[in-house]
Amino acid sequence: MKFDYKDLLENCIPGLSIDCVVFGYKDKKLHVLLVRFIDSHVWALPGGFIPKDQDMDAVANQVLLQRTGLKEVFLQQSHVFSSLNRHFDINPRSRLVMDTIKSTWMEEQKEELEAWFSQRFISTSYMALVDAEKVHPQIDVLSDACDWIPLDELPELIIDHSEMIHQAHEQLRMKIRLLPIGKSLLPERFTMSDLQSLYEAILDQKLDRGNFQRKMIRLGFLNRQEKLMTGAQNKAPYLYSINDEAYNELLEKGIGFS
């Protein structure tokens, strides 16, 4: 399979791209979905270019679908990055990526492609929240790895992608205070301590167990289900699921975690 540079040159808007900051929750930690470019072994956010006949939300949804197999998850615009040094050759890492792309795939139309990749790219970041268990990360023709990386173990990334991640994390931290998040990041059923760990991971602070439970129950968007027998030598926790009706009501009112 070859990189379809003809499609790129003919049908995509030059100088514009999107990048997706996909958050997932695994092993009591927040993770981000990253891809690794072939040969160069440089990490980056999964992204894409904008076809002339698509809007950016559609492209972001498509990138997400392609990388995770998921549709209709929480996905929203985050921020536009347009600084003058957003080139693929701004730092050694990014230059490596560009060199690899060029040497590997450019056979014809070398000049056009080189021009295409050497201009400034204005990129819009999207933030997605997904259930990490449901995702089976997919590589593509330009990447030889696509994996969940814990937020506190990020490798060096191309251009300003780590800034994008930090910006999205900050935005998530703000959002959780106005809206009950969780729904998108957790599986159908989860324990209260799952939910608490998620909040602790997002807010990056310890919360009191009893008070957290009381507060969440009182918000009234949780349905208590049967108990979960873990096999551990302790009291079995209840499982909870989300009452969509109550959840959406809270979303509308903008009531979240203080």
Partner DNA sequence: CATTTATTGTGTCAATGTGACTCATTACAT
Partner DNA sequence: ATGTAATGAGTCACATTGACACAATAAATG
Is residue 3 part of the contact set for DNA (CB under 7 A)?
no
Handedness of CA 179, 184, 187, 189 (dihedral sign): positive
User: CB within 8 A of 52, min separation 6: which ones?
Assistant: 11, 12, 13
- For residue 12, the tally of other CB atoms under 10 A from its CB is 18
Distances (CA, A) of 215 to 117, 219, 221, 241: 51, 6, 11, 16
Residue listed under structure tokens 């903008």: 254
Contact segment (CB under 7 A) with DNA among 123-131, 141-149, 226-234, 241-249 equals: 226-234
From the list 227, 244, 249, 253, which residue makes contact with DNA (rule: CB under 7 A)?
Answer: 227
218 binds, among DNA, a second copy, none (CB under 5 to 8 A by kind): DNA
Is residue 205 part of the contact set for DNA (CB under 7 A)?
no
Closest to a second copy by CB, 48 vs 137, is 48
- Torsion, Cα 103 109 110 113, to 10 degrees, reads -90
User: CB within 8 A of 152, min separation 6: which ones?
Assistant: 29
Closest to DNA by CB, 58 vs 236, is 236
Task: Report 140-169 residues binding a second copy (CB under 8 A).
Answer: none
Distances (CA, A) of 252 to 115, 178, 246: 46, 10, 10
From the list 111, 211, 226, 252, which residue makes contact with DNA (rule: CB under 7 A)?
Answer: 211
Is residue 15 part of the contact set for a second copy (CB under 8 A)?
yes
User: CB within 8 A of 165, min separation 6: which ones?
Assistant: 21, 32, 45, 151, 154, 157
Contact segment (CB under 7 A) with DNA among 51-59, 95-103, 129-137, 208-216 equals: 208-216
Is residue 84 part of the contact set for DNA (CB under 7 A)?
no
Closest to DNA by CB, 136 vs 227, is 227
- Interface positions with DNA (CB under 7 A): 191-193, 208-211, 213-215, 217-218, 227, 229-238, 258
- Interface positions with a second copy (CB under 8 A): 13, 15-16, 50, 52-57, 77, 79-80, 82-84, 120, 122, 124, 174, 177-178, 254
